[in-house]
Amino acid sequence: MSTALPGYNVGYLDEQTKRMIRRALLKAVAIPGFQVPFASREVPMPRGWGTGGVQVTASIIGGDDVLKVIDQGADDTTNAVSIRSFFAKVTGASTTTCTEDATIIQTRHRIPEAVLREGQIMVYQVPIPEPLRFLEPREAETRRMHALEEYGLIYVKLYEDIAKYGHIATTYAYPVMVNGRYLMDPSPTPSFDNPKLHQSPALHLYGAGREKRIYAVPPYTDVVSLGFEDHPFEPQRFEQPCAVCGSTGVYLDEIITDDAGGVMYACSDTDHCERAAALASAHIDDLEEARA
């Protein structure tokens, strides 16, 4: 293990805090989808910038872990870069941008395109953990609804979508049922990524720092996206391939290229895009060699 920043405890948080968060995490894993309250601490960034995810990562990271941090799927955005270098400083753990090499992946939105494997941990930065919040503002009432499994209300949200747009227009924070019991908000991940949660071999941990809640989806758990019989859940689809690497069936970002309506669509997962582009160009080189 390389050396951490002197004067700071490993992982920035003190050991008692990390224990408290680990206890909450164990409870969350034991009751998939259940929101466990925890005593959220201050970390050196404002609430709303991923403090929940940072606290979860700080509590589980060890010297031999390899950390990857993404924001909107990209490894090179401000928040991703600063969180990654923060943990490099205070833990001495190594970091990577390669999904396969990482043991812990902290994310704001996306689940990487590469298929996750056993032993990997996804850490999500959650802004609003309560899926019923905008329908039922009373926290005491939503907790009671979770306790009694009264989830009719969440369908009102989907009903409103269909009434307004003719289809379920919710494309992020799309509600799911976890293990057939708890209704869960998979954070602001796009609904495109929802199917990746179902029976995933990786462990998924959700931390909401401002709202002081932790919840989890353990490996190989049923995660079902809600829908109506006549309007079932449909993940987002993209018609065109990535303009950079040519991948299809991946999540694309719209990039505006000029002020005359010009746009291009490129992978939101930068790690996937770089490697797919490298593979494609190597393939072209091979073809040219063969021709020569």
273 is catalytic: yes
238 binds another protein (CB under 8 A): no
> Which positions from 34 to 73 touch another protein by CB under 8 A, shown as an x/- string?
----------------------------------------
Burial class (CB in 10 A: 0-12, 13-18, 19+), 30: exposed
User: Please, which residue, 181 or 212, has the CB nearer to another protein?
Assistant: 181
Helix/strand/coil percent split, the chain, to 5: 30, 20, 50
155 binds another protein (CB under 8 A): yes
User: Please, which residue, 174 or 251, has the CB nearer to another protein?
Assistant: 174
Q: Could you write out the DSSP letters of every residue in 213-263?
A: EEEEE-TT--EEE---SSS-------SSPPTTT---SS-EEEEE-SSSS-E
For residue 10 the two structure tokens come to 């490993």
> Which positions from 192 to 231 touch another protein by CB under 8 A, shown as an x/- string?
------------------------------------xxxx
Spatial distance between the Cα atoms of 64 and 88, rounded to a whole number of angstroms: 12
* Interface size with another protein, residues (CB under 8 A): 17
Query: Among 99, 103, 57, 97, which Cα is nearest to 77's?
Result: 97
Q: Give the residue, chosen from 66, 153, 224, 243, that forms a contact with another protein under the rule CB under 8 A.
A: 153
Question: Which of 11, 33, 52, 207 does the annotation list as catalytic?
Answer: 33
242 is catalytic: yes
Spatial distance between the Cα atoms of 36 and 27, rounded to a whole number of angstroms: 7
Strand partners, 107: 70, 124
Question: Which of 98, 166, 245, 246 does the annotation list as catalytic?
Answer: 245
98 is catalytic: no
169 binds another protein (CB under 8 A): no
Residue 86 in 3-state DSSP?
helix
Q: How far is the CB of 224 from another protein (least distance, A)?
A: 13
CB 91, CB 61: distance < 8 Å: yes
> Which positions from 115 to 144 touch another protein by CB under 8 A, shown as an x/- string?
--------------------x--------x
* 226 alpha-carbon distance from chain centroid: 19
What positions carry a catalytic annotation?
Answer: 33, 242, 245, 267, 273
The site for another protein (CB under 8 A) is made up of 135, 144, 148, 150, 152-153, 155-156, 159-160, 162-164, 228-231
